[in-house]
Amino acid sequence: MNVKSLQSHHTHYASLGSPWSAKADKVQSITGILLGCFLLAHLHFESSILLGKEAFYHVVQFLEGGMFSSTGHGFPMVTKLFSIFILIVVMLHALVALRRFPAQLGQWRALRRHMSGINHKDSHAWFWQLVTGFILFFLAPVHIFTMITNPEIGPHLSAERVYHANAWLLYALLLPAVVIHAMIGLYRVAVKWGLTANRAGLRKVAKVLIVYLISIGLLSLISYILIGRELSLPITPFVP
């Protein structure tokens, strides 16, 4: 290794050990926990469509503050504002996470060689979190911007977005990437901050959650597609 490489490595590891790096780790963990918990809630709220249109309608009205409206109808502005908040959290999370992202093709090749030569489950988990994070860098903002610009939610309105606007393709790619990234992220946060010493058990929980969340997400997506196929344009919002 030449002098230039040694200096580069020294600068890299010195930056990782700086006070800024420690603060960035905390910010990354906090924002990751927020986003992971939001995903758990979001997929379960969305899956209420599996119980029928009326069930999903009432969930939406509750989340949008329908109890504070004289008509019982929620306020779409709540979805818009919360989407803006989630976008800010996502941007902050990505900003502090990018400092550990391989920026050059040679670094990716070195990482692949390293991964093929070891059998360490946490290293493989980190690699898949890296890959899914790269995918989410492009897909997640598209979904969030859609919710900011068009916050109207409902059985028919959401089905229109999924089926008639062909958003199903985005969601089919986004769903596995975000679930895998989030569950591995929550696992790594728990291990990193010493919340558990049972890594094997926690890995099993993470795998079960990944399969479970992707399953309910896909079933919900299929439900929206089936509903959308039965609707004709222009869409009339669902009212029980």
Which residues participate in the annotated binding site for heme b? 42, 93, 143, 181
Q: Are 177 and 132 in contact (CB under 8 A)?
A: yes
Q: Are 159 and 216 in contact (CB under 8 A)?
A: no
- Number of Cβ within 10 Å of residue 115's Cβ equals 14
Which residues are annotated as part of the binding site? Answer: 42, 93, 143, 181
Q: 207 to each of 182, 183, 187, 214, how far by Cα in Å?
A: 11, 8, 10, 11
Residue the block writes with tokens 């493989």? 124
Q: Are 87 and 144 in contact (CB under 8 A)?
A: yes
Tell me the H-state helices in the chain: 3-16, 19-46, 53-63, 76-97, 105-117, 121-149, 155-159, 168-192, 199-229
CA dihedral 31, 35, 41, 44 (to 10 degrees): -160
